[in-house]
Structure 1
Amino acid sequence: MRTLTIALSLILFGYQAYIPDKRTVHYQPSPTASAAETFRYIYSINEVHTTGVSGYKGSKQDVQEPGSNAFLQGLEFDEKSDKPCFIRAHWWRYTAENLREDFTTFFDICKGDAKGDQSLIFSYTDTLRQAVDAIRVCSNNDKDHRLKGAELSSGYVDRNDSGKVENSGKKLSFDRPNCASWKTTQTCPTGTAAVGLITEHTGEEITGLALKCTEPFVKRVTPDENSPIAAKERFSKMEKDIRVSTDKTGASEKMTISEAVACHEVNGATVVVIDNAQISAVRHYGVRSRKSNLATNKDTLYQAASTSKFVAAIGMLIAAGRDHGPKLGRSVQMTANANDDSLIDRWVDRQFNGDRSDYPKEITVERLLSHTAGLDTHGIGTARINSKTDMENILLGSGFNPGVKPLSAPGILYDYSGGGITAAEAMLEIHSGRTATDFLNNEVLRPFGMTKSTFNTANDSMINLARGCSRGICSDTPEYTTVKFAGGLLANPEEYARLLTIILNDGKDSSGKQILPLADVQRLMTPAAHINSSQTPCTAHTNCGGVEKCYGGKCIMPIAANGNWYGLGITLIDGQDFQGFPSDLTHGGVQDNARAFFFIDRADRNGIVIMVNGEYSWKKKGVEYGAAALELDIRDAFYRYFP
């Protein structure tokens, strides 16, 4: 890893320069643990007992059984229009490296934004590991047999090194106003705990639940020398070594991240560190909102700002693989010609005139995503009214806003353009017949296990949304953008980091499943090519002449992007390759009251995600403070401890 030479030119969403589950990885050693210590590895056998159904059988059945020694810790429920239609299951397990993984799977037949309004999740510590061992539901008295309540019981797994499941006596329950009849409790056999959940339903509503149970076994394991303990210890040191500037001479004061959050007068922050291509640390600091004083936590969402572009680029690769497209080589002129009076058609007619009338033929999806389409409108900003960030107003302009116009011929220069990204979004909506929100939520976030993150528009009712009002008199109501590609993601930092681990693992999740084709991963990392590139077939840089380099099997002239290069929705650090593509990938994002940043090193297989909510920048005695300065302080500490 090298110190990044990234220009800190940050304007609005511009920055120059996280399978149906999510997993949180924690290392759980004793205070004096070393890599040579043994630990108790909890695993399950294949003999599984299925309980009866509490409630009523439905015409359909869904089974959540993640395997790999996972035990059920609890459930979340939600309903829409009185119909129970959503269950998120929480699981835990240990790996053979003494990593505890917490993750979720979900069942969702809601036709709306169900997130889980009732939560039954048992507490968990290293010495008191609880798993569900019994379940019962409450139904209404109507013929539809809707689930209107639930009760879970738990057992302790391997308490006091017993190697057994012992009844804890703990129960969690909820019931809705129309809960009319509690049904029979269905209990796992003695000595077993739940490793699977069966949901009975009609396709529209949940009617009953059952468990799949097995007996846990324990064996002693000694981790190898590559145990993540070293990464945990490094993060612990990094967390206490944040160097905050105190005056213009360059003097600084060393403090913890929590102390730095207070010093910079922001509300909160979340930091996720990746080591060996897996999450090694997740830490939350401060509060979601100065007004509510609720702490940031594992469910907090942050305004991802321009780091949304990377997720949007993945969405466009997925769309390119569908029949509807658009393909990466599709030009805006082709889309305009095929879709008379569409937004793209009107944009081309209005904004490209005279000697620039041929530009749309060369402005492809690829150019739009890599900021090499020669367009203006660096950032699109946020607002608390729809019109300012409406797609039509951005592209066509209104009032004193001229809309998105050409600056130069396509394929020649890098000009960061949130407006160009918005044109790509318009093309997706035309070709797919779906809103960008719908496509990105359902074709990217959910398949990648990002079940908390969303492209839904930020609003005051989102209690988990981090707010930026941190100093003086300001509004706690979130600003938003109605377009999504340029900066519309509300991200859970841990889920975003999980997405980055998939990139580090060549498109595979932690189970080895190919989530994103390797060709798409490589396409994301291919520098945007000058229009005059020879495109000669090659296998190495030495096959190419002059300034050309070999990427993706072709000789290209990468277009310079402020000292680096740009791929699809991501900055590529010029200077070091790994397995035929740039090793270091990064992007940042900024709003008035938020800062987001990520970095991954493919060669070292590490990285970091930092998201901050609070006033972006303010000065005291000539020193910069705020969300941007805090992010840089944390980033600098990461480079010191994860070089």
Structure 2
Amino acid sequence: MRKLVGVAYVLAVISVPAAAQQAGPASSKIVAVEEGLTSAVVLAGTPAPRRTIMTEMRRLNVPGVSVAVLHGGTIDWSKGYGVTRAGGAPVTPDTLFQAGSISKPVTALAALRLVEQHRLTLDGDVNALLKGWKLPVPPGEHVTLRELLAHTAGTTVHGFPGYAAGVAVPSVDDVLAGRPPANTKPVFVDTKPGTMWRYSGGGYTVIQKLIEDVTGRPFAEVLRNEVLRPAGMSHSSFSQPIDVASLATVAWPHDGLGKLVPGGPHTYPELAAAGLWSTPSDLLRYAIAVRDSARGADGRVLDRYLATAMLMPGKGNYGLGPEVHVTPADRAFSHGGSNAGYENFLIAYTGSGDGVAVMTNGARGNELGMEITRSVAAAYGWPSYRSIERASVPIPAATRALLIGNYAIPDLGSFSITGDGQGLAISLKEGVSEPLYASGPDTYFILSSDLVLHVNNREPEITGRIVTGPFDVPFAREADAKP
């Protein structure tokens, strides 16, 4: 059964010492971060346990983690933990990981630089600039770059699984058309553009083709010249597949059972959506470039007007590339990234200049990355990213029996609910389950993330919605699908 969001996890030897880049004035902060991990949700009336990075790596089966922390607009410290793969080298601050969907806000910065150069326009019809393949749209409609960047264009295809070693890799046009050897459906517009937010890796693949078509240059070359070099991201590239020499030193992906992903890193021809190789320090250099541009600093890589538009939250709390959250004291921009066997997270604040980037080579790395982010938030006094307290109530036996089963999520995958003693457990990822708690007769939650299930507990068909951040997706129990 294909699990939700395509994530799975890893068990590896993690006794290798961590490798630090810096241990000066920030050393006390490093210790506070390493020893202050907490879950996304804590049960009301129950003390929140504090965990360490190393113990959580073992619990979550993540073999390698790299962390870089931004403070006051500069990188305060960076450090690697664990190994690139079982029996492999220690992770260092310079170890490369696949960044997954963090490729999208990096691509957005390149697209906006092309807008500044008058080679692209934010509000014109993208089909007027696309060559050969055109984006299918409903009659009388057109799609803009602004809508593609903000996930409001109505484009299909949520994400991409990549291509395992030895498998034929399609061209970008093949991916967009959904023709072999592409392993995803065609990209087209199936809702009125601009009316709703829906995350779309397909939309960013349209941007990839758009950038190549207007520049006449390979996407990876354009991104190197327009973003990576100007931002000082000297370790980063959009090499897919990565060269053989580099492959020997990068962090390799692992599944949820602690095994290497067969053949190693998947290849992602969808470069704009998922093709970036990077380090946490380089991701923070991207964040610094965006922050400096929004503040109108000297040497900025983007016009202040465009940077401000990039960081203006719209539908789904997304700007033009990153997710954006405004607090009374500051503005945060962020993005997560999930490729096969890699999980990552980046966040920075435009006011304080604080932030963190976490990259992992384990499928349960997202949970670990968010724990590290909350620990950094506590150590540095951030206005957000704190644990949420929720009260739980007993689940009646009849309800418990009713909910056990397998559930389908249209176009995203599936999950299962099983019995767990007198309670329930949920499996959102292959081979991984965790307790499911009730906060009311039709509302359920987990501790690893701020994810809530709203369930119609009535036969004959049990339906509901999963809500987490801007994502709000329906599900329904599969027929005759008791686990």
Pairwise same-fold verdict (TM > 0.5): yes
Equivalent residue for 1:567, pick from 309, 319, 324: 319
Partner Cα distance (1:288, 1:467) in 2: 6
- Corresponding position: 1:396 with 2:177: yes
Q: State the secondary structure of the residue aligned to 1:573.
A: strand
Q: State the secondary structure of the residue aligned to 1:434.
A: coil
- Corresponding position: 1:373 with 2:153: yes
Deviations 1:52-88 (A, max 9, x none): xxxxxxxxxxxxxxxxxxxxxxxxxxxxxxxxxxxxx
- Corresponding position: 1:290 with 2:86: yes
- Corresponding position: 1:590 with 2:338: yes
The 8 Å contact of residues 309 and 320 in structure 2, kept in 1 or not, is answered as yes
2:120 maps to amino acid: P
Q: State the secondary structure of the residue aligned to 2:266.
A: coil
Deviations 1:211-260 (A, max 9, x none): xxxxxxxxxxxxxxxxxx4x653332121222479x99988753432332
Equivalent residue for 1:241, pick from 31, 36, 47: 36
Correspondence for 1:329: 123
Matches within 5 A, 1:623-638: 626-638=364-376
Post-superposition shift, 1:574? 4.8
1:496 maps to amino acid: L
Equivalent residue for 1:425, pick from 208, 215, 228: 208
Partner Cα distance (2:176, 2:354) in 1: 38
- Corresponding position: 1:513 with 2:299: yes
Partner Cα distance (1:269, 1:464) in 2: 14
Deviations 1:147-198 (A, max 9, x none): xxxxxxxxxxxxxxxxxxxxxxxxxxxxxxxxxxxxxxxxxxxxxxxxxxxx
Partner Cα distance (1:469, 1:481) in 2: 17
Post-superposition shift, 1:521? 1.8
Partner Cα distance (2:261, 2:300) in 1: 45
More helix by share: 2
Correspondence for 1:452: 235
Correspondence for 1:357: 139
The 8 Å contact of residues 82 and 90 in structure 2, kept in 1 or not, is answered as yes
Partner Cα distance (1:484, 1:575) in 2: 32
Structure having the higher Rg: 1
Post-superposition shift, 1:474? 4.1
Query: Structure 1 residues 319 and 464 mapped into 2: Cα distance closer, same or farther (>3 Å)?
Result: farther
The 8 Å contact of residues 331 and 364 in structure 1, kept in 2 or not, is answered as yes
- Corresponding position: 1:466 with 2:259: no
Deviations 1:69-119 (A, max 9, x none): xxxxxxxxxxxxxxxxxxxxxxxxxxxxxxxxxxxxxxxxxxxxxxxxxxx
Query: Structure 1 residues 366 and 613 mapped into 2: Cα distance closer, same or farther (>3 Å)?
Result: same
Post-superposition shift, 1:515? 3.1
Post-superposition shift, 1:332? 2.2
Query: Structure 1 residues 26 and 402 mapped into 2: Cα distance closer, same or farther (>3 Å)?
Result: closer
Segment of structure 1 superposing worse, 501-510 or 297-306: 501-510
Q: State the secondary structure of the residue aligned to 1:505.
A: helix
The 8 Å contact of residues 391 and 422 in structure 1, kept in 2 or not, is answered as yes
Partner Cα distance (2:72, 2:21) in 1: 12
Correspondence for 2:409: none
Equivalent residue for 2:74, pick from 274, 278, 290: 278
Query: Structure 1 residues 435 and 492 mapped into 2: Cα distance closer, same or farther (>3 Å)?
Result: same
Correspondence for 2:17: none
- Provide TM-score, normalisation by structure 1: 0.51
Query: Structure 1 residues 264 and 343 mapped into 2: Cα distance closer, same or farther (>3 Å)?
Result: same
Q: State the secondary structure of the residue aligned to 1:453.
A: coil
Post-superposition shift, 1:26? 4.4
Query: Structure 1 residues 263 and 25 mapped into 2: Cα distance closer, same or farther (>3 Å)?
Result: closer
Partner Cα distance (1:474, 1:481) in 2: 15
The 8 Å contact of residues 508 and 516 in structure 1, kept in 2 or not, is answered as no
Post-superposition shift, 1:599? 1.1
Equivalent residue for 1:640, pick from 375, 378, 381: 378
- Provide TM-score, normalisation by structure 2: 0.67
Identical pairs, percent: 23
Correspondence for 2:358: 610
The 8 Å contact of residues 526 and 567 in structure 1, kept in 2 or not, is answered as yes
The 8 Å contact of residues 387 and 393 in structure 1, kept in 2 or not, is answered as no
Partner Cα distance (1:496, 1:394) in 2: 27
Partner Cα distance (2:310, 2:171) in 1: 27
Deviations 1:8-43 (A, max 9, x none): x8457xxxxxxxxxxx98463xxxxxxxxxxxxxxx
The 8 Å contact of residues 371 and 414 in structure 1, kept in 2 or not, is answered as yes
1:631 maps to amino acid: G
Query: Structure 1 residues 635 and 473 mapped into 2: Cα distance closer, same or farther (>3 Å)?
Result: closer
Partner Cα distance (2:124, 2:241) in 1: 31
Partner Cα distance (1:442, 1:501) in 2: 17
Q: State the secondary structure of the residue aligned to 2:361.
A: strand
Runs of 4+ with deviation above 6 angstroms: 247-252
Q: State the secondary structure of the residue aligned to 1:608.
A: strand
Correspondence for 2:112: 317
Post-superposition shift, 1:458? 3.3
Equivalent residue for 1:494, pick from 278, 281, 288: 281
Correspondence for 1:259: 55
Correspondence for 1:412: 195
**Runs (5+) with no aligned partner, structure 2:** 8-19, 383-483
Query: Structure 1 residues 367 and 505 mapped into 2: Cα distance closer, same or farther (>3 Å)?
Result: same
More strand by share: 1
The 8 Å contact of residues 32 and 375 in structure 2, kept in 1 or not, is answered as no
Equivalent residue for 1:524, pick from 310, 324, 329: 310
Report the number of matched residues.
358
Equivalent residue for 2:133, pick from 329, 339, 343: 343
Query: Structure 1 residues 506 and 405 mapped into 2: Cα distance closer, same or farther (>3 Å)?
Result: closer
2:83 maps to amino acid: V
Equivalent residue for 2:272, pick from 485, 490, 495: 485
Post-superposition shift, 1:373? 0.3
Deviations 1:430-481 (A, max 9, x none): 1110111111122211122111111111345422321112614642521120
The 8 Å contact of residues 268 and 286 in structure 1, kept in 2 or not, is answered as yes
